[in-house]
Amino acid sequence: MAAPAPASSFATRLAAAVDRRGGAACVGLDPVLEKVPHRNGGDPVAAIEAFSLRVVEAVAGLVPAVKLQMACFERYGSRGVAAAERVLGAAGEAELLTIADAKRGDIGVSAAHYAAAFTAGPLAADAVTVSPYLGFDTLVPFREAAAAAGTGVFVLVRTSNPGGDDLQSLRTPGGGVAEVVAAGIERMNGGLQAGEAYGPVGAVVGATRPAVAEALRVRMPRSILLVPGIGAQGGDPAALSALFDARGHGALLTASRSVIYAEDPAEGARRLVAAAAQAADRG
């Protein structure tokens, strides 16, 4: 017997959450031990978990989503992964959509196992980030798992770090590498259900090059864009209005350090939501 269809898609849940909170904003949970104010007697896992939970509590009810940087937890082994599980769980209980920023990518059965890990079980999130470097066929298990579970996948397309130019700006017969990836993502979002504006496969497009982001939006009209680089990296929300549709949906602006290390993370979250609302002309 086929598994029952999910009650709603990630795109539908995200749109509803954005409408409730007033702006398409996401807070990145990137806890770095050396920056955590209270270190719990020298236990790094306890420190980053407690810090992350405080941020979750501070931003709950203010932003639609949080993005958990898995590397910040995985470096501490099994205890760190267990802490990530608890933080994801706490965020979900606080009615925050969760994105596991894992940037996974592999072939065949390995991709299927990665996809299963982030759509079911203790590491399950509303969406996961993935790398397309091994080819479009390696994204299929993630897309299939997301479609079945009602979750989302964000594929790295044009990242906010300057070094992304090393590969993402290279030219191919089909256009720039980022453009080729964008075209592949658009194909994967074919066959949307009635009433759905966006498919399960989204794209990571950095905020630091607004003109490039706008051009990629044109190539991926059916993808939600996860847009890092707001705040500490210098991305300007006001320059990103073209990434949103007329309802203020279609993109999710992400900030991490400027919110989580602020003296008042809740106030930082409010500012982020306000900036996202203004960018989407919701204010």
At residue 113, does pLDDT exceed 90?
yes
Going 57 to 61 to 62 to 65, the CA torsion angle's sign is positive
Q: Could you give phi then psi for residue 251, rounded to 5 degrees?
A: -145, 155
Q: Give CA separation, 191 vs 56, 87, 198, 249, in Å.
A: 35, 34, 10, 20
Model-level pTM?
0.94
Q: Are 60 and 270 in contact (CB under 8 A)?
A: no
pLDDT above 90: percentage of residues in the chain? 86
- What average pLDDT does the segment 242-249 reach? 96
- What average pLDDT does the segment 120-137 reach? 96
Q: Give tens-digit pLDDT for 201-218.
A: 999 999 999 999 999 999
- What average pLDDT does the segment 11-39 reach? 94
Active site residues: 103
Residue 7: the pLDDT is 63
Q: Does domain 10-22+103-279 have CATH number 3.20.20.70?
A: yes
Q: Give CA separation, 205 vs 9, 37, 101, 185, 240, in Å.
A: 21, 31, 14, 13, 11
What confidence tier does 41 reach under pLDDT thresholds 50, 70, 90? low
At residue 48, does pLDDT exceed 50?
yes
Cα 121 from Cα 107, distance rounded (Å)? 21
Q: Which helix (H) or strand (E) holds 18?
A: helix 10-21
What confidence tier does 283 reach under pLDDT thresholds 50, 70, 90? very low
Q: Are 158 and 209 in contact (CB under 8 A)?
A: yes
